[in-house]
Amino acid sequence: MNSFPENIFLVGVMGAGKTTVGRLLAKKLGRRFVDSDHEIEARCGVRIPTIFEMEGEEGFRKREAQVIDELTQEKNLVLATGGGAVLLPENRQHLHQRGVVVYLRATPHELWLRTRNDKGRPLLNNDDPRGTLEKLFAIRDPLYRETAHHVIDTGKPSVNQLVNTLMMQFELST
Ligand SMILES: Nc1ncnc2c1ncn2[C@@H]1O[C@H](COP(=O)(O)OP(=O)(O)O)[C@@H](O)[C@H]1O
Ligand SMILES: O=C(O)C1=C[C@@H](OP(=O)(O)O)[C@@H](O)[C@H](O)C1
Ligand SMILES: [Mg+2]
């Protein structure tokens, strides 16, 4: 038995490292890892951009809320959410109340460097992805802070360093 929190939920803007850090953290803790985007894709049988094309962002958000409600009721899970998961109050509440939430934070510039070659994020497939990230950061940063129990800067440290820092932080705070 270890003293780590039962559920760990990662939030943050696109490119913060939720999927990458979450997967390694779960491996080190021997926990199940789920990414809400991957779960939505598995249920729909199509990739995220196709869901946005067919149902718009609104349709995607409904699917995301359903998946987050279900997954947050599990135990011993590391969950990487999509960057927009905090937009709905019900998601913020479920995440905050059902696990320990970590906000992986980075600057819009750092986020842009990490996402600029990846076409799998429909909200960034426009002429000004950098400006979009700045706007999303401004709107969502307060929502991530409201939802999270911990905030950690991910701009400089490696994925390994972040996972080690998180494991130490959980050990100290439980
Ligand atoms: N701490 C980090 N240092 C360097 N690159 C990172 C770091 N965290 C994530 N990345 C890279 O950034 C990209 C986006 O990471 P990802 O985990 O998909 O972010 P998110 O799920 O938050 O959108 C990936 O190519 C990943 O390898
Ligand atoms: O920020 C957002 O609204 C989104 C973030 C994406 O996940 P990542 O944050 O893992 O890239 C994915 O859920 C979808 O493209 C929408
Ligand atoms: Mg992700």
The complex scores an ipTM of 0.99
37 within ligand 2 shell (Cβ under 6 A): yes
Task: Match 């999927």 to its residue by tokens.
Answer: 19
Check pLDDT > 80 for residue 3: no
**Nearest CA residue ID for atom 1, ligand 2:** 83
Cβ-Cβ contacts under 8 Å for 13 (sequence gap 6 or more)? 83, 106, 108, 111, 133, 136, 137, 140, 144
Question: Which pLDDT tens digit goes with each residue over 36-80?
Answer: 999 999 999 999 999 999 999 999 999 999 999 999 999 999 999
Look at the pTM and tell me if it is higher than 0.90: yes
Binding-site residues for substrate: 37, 61, 83, 140
Topology of domain 15-164 in CATH is Rossmann fold (3.40.50)
| Spatial distance between the Cα atoms of 51 and 121, rounded to a whole number of angstroms | 11
Binding-site residues for Mg(2+): 19
Q: What is the mean pLDDT of the chain?
A: 96
Helix, strand, coil fractions of the chain, as percent rounded to 5: 60, 15, 30
Q: Which ligand is nearest to the CA of 114?
A: 1
